[in-house]
A and B are shown apart, each in its own frame.
Chain A
Amino acid sequence: MPAEARSDGRIVIVGASLAGLRAAETLRDEGFSGELTLVGEEPHPPYDRPPLTKQVLLGRVRADDVGLPRRRAVEARWKLGVRASGLDLYGKKVLLANGEQLPFDRLLIATGTRARPWPDPDAARLDGVFTVRTRDDAGRLAERFAAGPRRVLVIGAGFTGSEIASACRERGIEVTVAERGPAPLVGALGGTLGAFAARMQRAHGVDLRCGVTVTGLKGADGRLTGAELSDGGRIDADIAVIALGAVRNTEWLAGSGLAAGPRGVACDAGCRAFDMYGIVTDDIFVAGDVARFPHPLFEYQMLSLEHWGNAVAQAEVAAHNMISSGPHRRPHLTVPAFWSSQFGLNIKSIGVPTFSDQVVVAQGSPEEGRLVAVYGYRGRVTAAVSVNRAKWLEHYRRLIETAAPFPPGPGAADRPESAEPVPSDVPDPKVLSHGPTVALTGHLPDRRLTLVRPGG
């Protein structure tokens, strides 16, 4: 194929949220003049999800006021409120649930994730049981919060669950958080930050139960009344929020021949999708939460990121590569980063904290509610997490990018007296109960073990 720009033809983007919109804008910005179609399962134009568990649940912003700002006009055909149901790689067509077929020259898959549902579908249908992924979810839950529930049960203490618990406390609502792991946020940030988060939640009056699972949701007359816990305990609650992580929206690609599965759609560093044989396609691209891509800073392991910033950066690279060829294509190499606000604190992460064996509090004082924790893997810096110290992270980004030695050297301002590394206690990615916001979907090199059963 000649190395020329491909600025015409038909492009279909499946997924009309952050990644889909930013990709469409980038395509037009970079001169794509062909036919552009966006398909979105939700009826709403693209909106911003981070406020849903923050300002919307606090009642400060209405759920229908979270539309994403537009960078430019995209002159696209919008197919909203209709789900993509299949992909025909041979015929180069996207099949829609309403029977329509969309032929394409190039396709971007940006279908993202949905909330992992409660495993018992009958209990999940009880009035008072919620998940929070869409603006409709958040709008309904905010109404319930405003009505003053007796107690909210949050199941799962990842970032979503913790932010919801924080919103409850800020609104003066009693809340119980049930977490299967040893502490909140442990799946994403490991033991040290998990212990910090547990103290923070309890200090704000959260009834935090760690090391327990919810074995059943109880209802009467179709309404939730409470839940039973694995330790024999019972919680009376009129609202339960299921915050057990996300499921990647890849079912529509089953049988398509793409390398798509529960961990996402695999692609190369240039966002080009792999087919099921591991051969890279040249006309199918992936971006956002649904993508799995290799990252050189993390030993080329496949990463799946549920990060706002990654959706934007990856969409921009994918869009650029869709209309470029050969050496004009760019790799997606952004250092992963995400933030959360909860319990009056700003938490920001850079790098991949779960790609670590040790962690050290390099700056600040956890007791005084400020810190920078630096993560290392085999003697090099791989991540940093700040609490109320986001401005320091730029320095650690440089350390991550240059694979600087871990632990970082002396001399940092506000350095704690004992800055000794401890084990990072991140969970094995293979046994995660609910997705961390960064999932390593390969294997850590030093944990590539073969289990040999001793002969009988």
Chain B
Amino acid sequence: MSTETLFHRIADYASRPDPYPLYAELREHGVVRQDDGSYLVGTYDEIAALLHDPRISSDRRLRTVPDPLGPGQDDVPPAFIGLDDPEHDRLRRLTMRPFGPPHSPGRIDALRDEISRIAGELADGFGGDGKRIDIVDDFAYPLPVTVICRLLGVPTEDEPRFRAWSDTIVAGFDSTPGEDPEQRVRSATEARRAMALYLGELAESRRGHPSDDMLSALVNDEAPEGRMNRIELMTTSVLLLIAGHETTVNLITNGVLTLLRHPDALARLRDDPALMPQAVEELLRYEPPVQMLPQRTPLADVEVSGVTVPQGAPLILVLAAGNRDPLRFAEPDRFDITRPDNQHLGFGSGVHSCFGAPLARIETQIALTTLLHRLGDLRLVEDPPPYRTNPVLRGPRHLVVEPRA
């Protein structure tokens, strides 16, 4: 089949349970131009180099070739994930102040007990013996959502509202062929605006009344870089809430799925829970919750393995393909929880490397540890499970398990 349509084949819903053969095809060709003028990259070294290359923009507004993701969302400026330095750096620094080092080095670590408690309570609700559990709806979704709400200072009872917005916004990145991209993007833009107004009002209500949450810190704290304006505050809060919503759920669910498919690894983790941090890193390599970064664009003609990617062309970095590159990882298709030298691309790399990575790591470590201890011998009711439609934020929509008879 032509590599010109590789992206369509990856995006095809039928590929969702196992896109890895397509990623192998991508790696074989290095850099692949698509019939719409976009470029796919799937080899580890090339992706790593591009992630650090200052000529590769994250700002989709700079694209000159038609964007496979549809038109940009013009009226609301991008959050820092979609901006370049120096604006990106200023906003990311301001956001980091109440989240991590150097100003808040203990913030995330201090959440461990609370995350364990929330995970324990969710596991308590699983019900009696013999009952089926949906790992997604009963556990992997509510856990990170509760945590991000607590961290940001968003009332958990508003969850249904922003779940709907979040679903619509994320669908805006979902380029399933055959759908009307205009309509999809319009809905996403409206949802993003509604969520921004909601979070903006919430943050404003904390101005002058600081409490121990990030929205309050962002609206009240004075940094050397100044403060975020109202719009920046809104776009940043939307980004944090969505990112805290849509990625860790997949990481936890993929973790349960992968461990149930690899009973030897699961048994080893039960015997030696100290292996969990390493196991989560391997999971981030083997089944990364963000499969690709579809937002990049070169600011100048850039040569990648002998192919010139022109300025302004959509450049899609397929992280999940790089994570299985045999030139970087020995036996890349093997799930090995003690893999040495595991510098995966699961959190990206470079200046845009995942902001929430420390939180995602401890959430997933705690979530999987809790499940290992609470649940007995389980089996998957359906393998492969039904997937969400999104090829970028890929993960099961449901993961139903039941005790082994």
Interfacial residues, chain A to chain B (CB-CB below 8 A): 344, 362-365, 368, 370, 372, 389, 391-392, 394-395, 398, 409-415
Does B402 sit at the interface, judged by CB under 8 A? no
Residues A392 and B351 in contact, CB atoms below 8 Å apart = yes
Q: Tell me which of B57, B298, B299 has the highest count of chain A C-beta atoms within 10 A of its own C-beta.
A: B299
Q: Which residues in B have their C-beta under 8 angstroms from that of A368?
A: 86
The A interface is mostly helix, strand or loop, or mixed, namely mixed
Give the tally of cross-chain contacts (CB within 8 A): 54
Q: Which residue of A lies closest to B51 (CB)?
A: A394
Q: How far is the CB of A420 from chain B (nearest CB, A)?
A: 18
Interfacial residues, chain B to chain A (CB-CB below 8 A): 49, 52-55, 57, 84-86, 89, 224, 298-300, 302, 311, 349-351, 353
Q: How far is the CB of A348 from chain B (nearest CB, A)?
A: 14
Known: A391-B350, A391-B351, A392-B351. A413 touches B52 (CB 8 A): no
Q: Which residues in A have their C-beta under 8 angstroms from that of B302?
A: 411
Q: Which residues in A have their C-beta under 8 angstroms from that of B350?
A: 391, 394-395
Residues A394 and B52 in contact, CB atoms below 8 Å apart = yes
Q: Tell me which of B85, B224, B350 has the highest count of chain A C-beta atoms within 10 A of its own C-beta.
A: B85
Q: How far is the CB of A330 from chain B (nearest CB, A)?
A: 15
Residues A413 and B299 in contact, CB atoms below 8 Å apart = yes
Residues A413 and B57 in contact, CB atoms below 8 Å apart = yes
Q: Which residues in A have their C-beta under 8 angstroms from that of B353?
A: 391
Residues B84 and A398 in contact, CB atoms below 8 Å apart = no
Q: Tell me which of A389, A392, A411 has the highest count of chain B C-beta atoms within 10 A of its own C-beta.
A: A411
Q: Which residues in B have their C-beta under 8 angstroms from that of A365?
A: 86
Q: How far is the CB of A121 from chain B (nearest CB, A)?
A: 41
Q: Which residues in B have their C-beta under 8 angstroms from that of A415?
A: 54
Residues B86 and A414 in contact, CB atoms below 8 Å apart = yes
A391 to B348: give the CA distance in the assembly, Å: 13
Residues B49 and A412 in contact, CB atoms below 8 Å apart = no
Residues B85 and A398 in contact, CB atoms below 8 Å apart = no
Residues A412 and B86 in contact, CB atoms below 8 Å apart = no
Q: Which residue of A lies closest to B224 (CB)?
A: A344
Which of A362, A364, A394, A409 is the one whose CB lies under 8 Å from B86?
A: A364
Which of A362, A364, A395 is the one whose CB lies under 8 Å from B52?
A: A395
Known: A370-B86, A413-B85. A363 touches B54 (CB 8 A): yes
A415 to B86: give the CA distance in the assembly, Å: 10
Residues A411 and B311 in contact, CB atoms below 8 Å apart = yes
Q: How far is the CB of A287 from chain B (nearest CB, A)?
A: 22
Q: Which residue of A lies closest to B83 (CB)?
A: A413
A276 to B349: give the CA distance in the assembly, Å: 46
Q: Which residues in B have their C-beta under 8 angstroms from that of A370?
A: 86, 89
Q: How far is the CB of A400 from chain B (nearest CB, A)?
A: 13
Q: Tell me which of A365, A370, A395, A409 has the highest count of chain B C-beta atoms within 10 A of its own C-beta.
A: A395
Known: A410-B300, A413-B55. A363 touches B49 (CB 8 A): no
Residues A398 and B299 in contact, CB atoms below 8 Å apart = no
